[in-house]
Amino acid sequence: MLFLNPRATRADYPAELSAIMNIAQAHQSREWLSSWRGIHPNATPLYDLPDAAARCQVGRLCLKDESVRSHLGSFKALGAPIALVRQILRLHPDFEPAAILAGRYAQALRGYTVISATDGNHGRGLAAAAQDAGCRCVIVLHAHVSPEREQAIAAYGADIVRIAGNYDESVHEATRLAAAHGWQVVADTSYDGYEDIPRDVMQGYGAIAAEIVEQTSAQRGRAGTFTHVFLQGGVGGMAAGLASYFWEYHGPQRPRFISVEPAQADCLLQSAIQGRPAKATGTVDSVMAGLACGETSPLAWRFLQPCVDVFMTIEDEQAIEAMRALAQGSERDTPIVAGESGVAGLAALEWLRSDPQRSEQVGLTAESRVLIISTEGATAPREYTRLVGQSAEQVLQRQQAWQAAHSLQTQPA
């Protein structure tokens, strides 16, 4: 489904939004995380995919590969860890920010417990950060989170609580447990009276946009390299974190933003239709586990409503085909390991370009320059192998061979 947002504007980044999230805070978060062992020090690759661009009939297609951001395998390594750091600083303002995840204050934090619900990647990021900081972590998982993802979270020392419901019910259970035991919720979705930590999570994602600006030599206040940017939906946090950065940086010359989510977890699209944060209309059970969210984050919606131009949904089968296409690579495109949620942008682009009317509605032409974000790698390796027909290790071996043969430059000129 496709919905053109009548409330999207092209103006300077509003002061009221800048007071909540801004480039300066994004850079501070990036600096604080730079010394954490859970983050690789270099920017993640920005790949040119000329064959995929030709297939989609666009002028240029670039993919930002967040699978190599961290050993955690996803962009979530930027969100929960920095939110934990900022929350600890509220309690201990004398702590040195960069030293928190180095474990320097582990003794002082031994009695501190954080909790969150997750579809997988957020919980894994929080568990890893809590383990390094020295505090306890409890993670609530719903029925559709695979045992493989549970094991990946538990490997970082988190205590796991299982519930029978869906993601949104796991969010409510985490809130209940926190109130009952005096624990601190570190979630990536907001609700009434709970906005500071979700804001910190979203602000952390701004590091991705900052790297893209650097990698493309963009100039502030001017149109950048890309005319269209596809952003994964979920509760809206990742989309808000990146869109707000690009909006503040480019101003009225910002690219066109397109939000993508599973058809059965269409909370952002429904929010756009209704003009307020809304719930999904489907089962919220998708192979795109990281995007299987039923309720829009009200805080994220404050940023998305005025700047996302198009809201759309895709089917699970489209995501699986996109996973296979990226894994296969081509003569001019390096093979890429992209997980179920990571391929949403490519799947959406292919669907839009398969119909001239849809393309015209969103302004896609043969001259368009498109950015997609692969938000995760094979965070559930067995599931990845089942869906793609080859393992992530096999794809990475072919990627290494391809890049060696092509002397790949990962940062487009």
**Residues 298, 356 contacting (CB under 8 angstroms):** no
Confidence (pLDDT) at 408: 62
Confidence (pLDDT) at 411: 44
Say whether both 230 and 367 belong to one domain: yes
Which segments of the chain have a pLDDT < 70? 408-413
Question: Where does a domain end: 130, 153, 185?
Answer: 185
Whether 100 maps to a domain, the answer reads yes
Say whether both 110 and 68 belong to one domain: no
Q: Two tokens at 306?
A: 């005025």
Placement of tokens 């994004």 in the chain: 26
pTM across the whole model: 0.94
**CA atoms within 13 Å, Cβ hemisphere of 39:** 28
Say whether both 106 and 237 belong to one domain: no
Where in 210-331 does DSSP place strands (E)?
228-232, 256-262, 308-314
Placement of tokens 């954490």 in the chain: 36
| Rounded-to-integer distance, Cα 407 and Cα 402, Å | 8
Say whether both 293 and 335 belong to one domain: yes
Q: What is the CA radius of gyration of the chain?
A: 20
Give the structural domain span for 116: 94-185
Triad 130, 144, 69: Cα angle to 5°: 45
Active-site positions?
76, 119
Say whether both 28 and 100 belong to one domain: no
Q: Amino acid identity, residue 372?
A: I
What are phi and psi for residue 54, nearest 5 degrees? -65, -40
Question: Where does a domain end: 151, 185, 219?
Answer: 185
Say whether both 38 and 159 belong to one domain: no
Whether 330 maps to a domain, the answer reads yes
Say whether both 201 and 261 belong to one domain: yes
Q: Which of 89, 90, 147, 87 is closest to 115 using CA atoms?
A: 87
What CATH number does the domain containing 127 carry? 3.40.50.1100
DSSP letters spanning 193-212 = TB-HHHHHHHHHHHHHHHHH
**Residues 70, 42 contacting (CB under 8 angstroms):** no
**Residues 237, 198 contacting (CB under 8 angstroms):** yes
Q: Amino acid identity, residue 139?
A: I
Where in 6-158 does DSSP place strands (E)?
46-48, 60-65, 113-118, 136-141
Phi-psi region of 234 (alpha: psi -120 to 50; beta: other; left: phi over 0): left
What are phi and psi for residue 379, nearest 5 degrees? -70, -15
Say whether both 270 and 376 belong to one domain: yes
Q: How many domains does the chain have?
A: 2
Where in 163-243 does DSSP place strands (E)?
184-185, 228-232
Phi-psi region of 362 (alpha: psi -120 to 50; beta: other; left: phi over 0): alpha
Question: Where does a domain end: 165, 185, 205?
Answer: 185
Whether 222 maps to a domain, the answer reads yes
